[in-house]
Structure 1
Amino acid sequence: MAEVSSERPVRPRPLSPHLQIYRPQINMVMSIWHRMTGAALYFGSVLLAWWLLAAATSPEYFSFVNSLFATWVGMVILVGFSWALIHHALGGIRHFIWDTASSMDTRSVDILSWMTIILSVLLTAGLWLYIASDRGWVAL
């Protein structure tokens, strides 16, 4: 067995490169956001189940739950949930496109990633603008 010479110190083996080596790229960020929106959808599903359970329980309890969702905190949660749902769905479409082995070059990956961000924000804004106009909160 080879012995280590005391004259030359042993260099530590390199670790796997991490964020200090790689510059964040849009596809890396989208991968992280896809996972985060998926986790947020679990939380939102619990809220949706609570709302449906309240609707099945009694009109008073349903009114109570609706009043909680009507607060500014509740509205932020609802807008965030709808954005997470739309963003995650668009990310799933992006992954489906990649599953067909198309759009795998760097430029196409970047375009699809940016389109996921842009479309998710635009579709969420459009959805809530429609809801706001339907409820009479804003006039279009």
Structure 2
Amino acid sequence: MATQLERTRPLSPHLQIWKWGPHMLVSILHRATGDGMALVGTCLFVWWLAALAAGAEAYAVFVDTFTYAGGGLNALGYIFGIGMSWAFFQHMASGIRHLVLDTGAGFELKTNRTFALLTMVFSVLATVAFWAYLLAGK
């Protein structure tokens, strides 16, 4: 049976109570991009190693999955490449944000919101610049 003390305890704050903000999104994106890069990167690396070990035909299937015969990327290659590079830049920017927060700076609401928004803007701009540089070289 619940005592009077247990019934009067306040509820822990939850997502219905907190007002959503960019800092929450960036925190979730930091975890998701880290896990995503680890999972996708590991799967691609294992597939690449298995294709190398299986021989030239299996390796050709791996390479053809991500490239055209002419040497350019196909749609799957662009999806993985752009997705992984965006995840990298988002995770890196969020990590730098967390490093700044670890020094004790940036906890003011306006500053925290600005830093969170800047990580998302940076990740998109860095991904666009990275792929513009890669594609300009062709």
**TM-score normalised to the size of structure 2?**
0.77
Residue from 12, 16, 26 that aligns with 1:30: 26
Give the whole-Å Cα distance in 1 for the aligned partners of 2:122 and 2:100: 16
Root-mean-square deviation over aligned CA pairs? 2.5
Q: 2:48·2:62 contact (CA, 8 Å) conserved in 1?
A: no
Give the whole-Å Cα distance in 1 for the aligned partners of 2:87 and 2:31: 10
Number of positions where the alignment pairs a residue of Structure 1 with one of Structure 2: 127
Residue type of the alignment partner of 2:93: L
Give the whole-Å Cα distance in 1 for the aligned partners of 2:92 and 2:118: 13
Task: State yes or no: 1:53 paired with 2:53.
Answer: no
- Larger mean CA deviation between 32-41 and 59-68 belongs to 59-68
Relative to structure 1, is the Cα distance of residues 66 and 33 closer, same or farther in structure 2, using a 3 angstrom cutoff?
Answer: same
Q: 1:83·1:124 contact (CA, 8 Å) conserved in 2?
A: yes
Q: 1:86·1:120 contact (CA, 8 Å) conserved in 2?
A: yes
Task: State yes or no: 1:68 paired with 2:61.
Answer: no
Task: State yes or no: 1:18 paired with 2:14.
Answer: yes
The higher-RCO structure (CA 8 Å, 6+ apart) is 2
Give the whole-Å Cα distance in 2 for the aligned partners of 1:31 and 1:122: 19
- Taking only the aligned residue pairs, the percentage that are identical comes to 34
Relative to structure 1, is the Cα distance of residues 24 and 51 closer, same or farther in structure 2, using a 3 angstrom cutoff?
Answer: same
Task: State yes or no: 1:89 paired with 2:92.
Answer: yes
Give the whole-Å Cα distance in 1 for the aligned partners of 2:21 and 2:94: 16
Local SS of the residue matching 2:16: coil
Displacement of 1:21 after TM fit? 1.8
| 4+ residue segments displaced more than 4 Å | 11-14, 54-60
Displacement of 1:84 after TM fit? 0.6
Tell me what 1:79 maps to: 82
Displacement of 1:97 after TM fit? 0.8
Specify the structure having the higher radius of gyration (Cα): 1
Give the whole-Å Cα distance in 1 for the aligned partners of 2:82 and 2:9: 47
Tell me what 1:119 maps to: 122
Tell me what 2:103 maps to: 100
Deviations 1:78-137 (A, max 9, x none): 2111111111011111111111112221111111111100000000011111111212xx
